[in-house]
Amino acid sequence: MKKRLVLFLVGLLAVVALVGCGEKSQADVVQALEKKVEEMSGYKAKGKMTLQTGNDPQEYEIEIWHKGPTYYRVNLKNSQKEQSQMILRNDEGVFVLTPALNKSFRFQSDWPQNSSQAYLYESLVKDILKDADAKFSSAEDKYVFETKTNYQNNKMLPIQEITFNKKDLTPTMVKVMDTDRNPLVVVEFTSFEFNASFDDNSFDVEKNMSSAQIEVPTMATGDREPFAVKYPLEQPNGAKLVKETEIDTENGKRVILTFEGEKSFTLIQESAEIATPASASTSTYVNGSPADLGFTIGAMSDTSLTWTHDGVDYMLASEDLTTDELIMVAKSVQGQTAK
């Protein structure tokens, strides 16, 4: 009887030991993620990004290509509105392509190294490694981290929740939250392939512009309706609209909205100019850095933020607004229905 009891206890201890060995600690998982980033040659991923800012959620299909160490291709497409935008990084710099306008802009920028990126694997892992207070939980098939973000131009989204597949450490979901823990940006990955292969011209500007225009044809100038003026929902420190000026241009109308108060700013809207096919291979140099607004990639300088959306060029200028406030106002313009 005693012998059976001893054998039972030994077997039970063995099972407990095996279970204990199988459950990884936070440090184990962090170490495995760091090793994954160090050893991978790149990846291809697809997913859906949902922005919860404004009256209605906006959904975008997102495709990410990364070839180590510094090549990137991020394609954002709004399937409802048939519009897309792409950000490329290659040896020549950082480019933002808008196929519907046949335009590309070039930045001298260290993107994406200078800020958190909710859809880039190595950026998510970097944020986990940097946060000594990161929270961790383990479920049956997933690991979940909660960390601080590192958005240089947007301190309004300080927290993110990152979920990884336990089996292969691929990301499955990222929620970027405001100070009240409301998820304002949600990225859901539908596929993720480590060490993917790429063609020689996968990150070429002209090749990507041409292929994108097959899916989203270039707008025809004569087909466009006059745009509806949009007004920001967020006006920092009680700034009030004091003047609205409309000017006729060769492209159509230009509308200038002037807001005054402790935080004064000007918002200019006009029909975007469509580049001719002959100029497809040239890129306009932009003095600033790319600003990821979620719905589009804008250009940020110390005192202004410019972006294009639905065939309309926007320029937000202010000597008073911080970069956070410029982004907040820009997002509130796009997150509402025109008056």
Full set of structural domains in the chain with CATH: 26-215 (2.50.20.10), 221-273+301-334 (3.30.200)
Q: What does the mean pLDDT of the chain come to?
A: 85
CA distance 165 to 186: 17
Is the model more confident about 293 or about 11?
Answer: 293
For 225, which DSSP code?
P
> Picking from 62-71, 116-125, 276-285, 287-296, which range would have the lowest pLDDT averaged per residue?
276-285
Q: What is the mean pLDDT of residues 65-73?
A: 96
Total-model pTM:
0.82
Contacts of 44 (CB under 8 A, 6+ apart): 63, 64, 65, 66, 191, 192, 193, 196
pLDDT of residue 110: 86
pLDDT of residue 56: 76
Q: What is the mean pLDDT of residues 227-250?
A: 90
Percent of the chain, pLDDT > 70?
A: 84
Q: In Å, how far are 18, 83, 137, 286, 331 from 23, measured between CA atoms? A: 9, 45, 11, 50, 42
What confidence category does residue 282 fall into, taking pLDDT thresholds of 50, 70 and 90?
A: low
Q: What are phi and psi of 236, to 5 degrees?
A: -55, 135
Classify each residue of 98-132 as buried b or exposed e, where b means 16 or more C-beta atoms within 10 Å of its C-beta: bbbbbbbbbbebebbeebbbbbbbbbbbbbbeebe
Q: What is the mean pLDDT of residues 303-327?
A: 91
Q: Which pLDDT tens digit goes with each residue over 187-214?
A: 999 999 999 999 989 999 999 988 887 7
Q: Is the pLDDT of residue 93 over 50?
A: yes
CA distance 120 to 40: 13
Cβ atoms within 10 Å, residue 320? 15
pLDDT of residue 126: 96
Integer-rounded Cα radius of gyration of the chain: 24
CA angle 278, 218, 310 (to 5 degrees): 130
Is the model more confident about 179 or about 173?
Answer: 173
Q: Is the pLDDT of residue 117 over 80?
A: yes
Is the model more confident about 43 or about 287?
Answer: 43
pLDDT of residue 7: 47
Is the model more confident about 297 or about 339?
Answer: 297
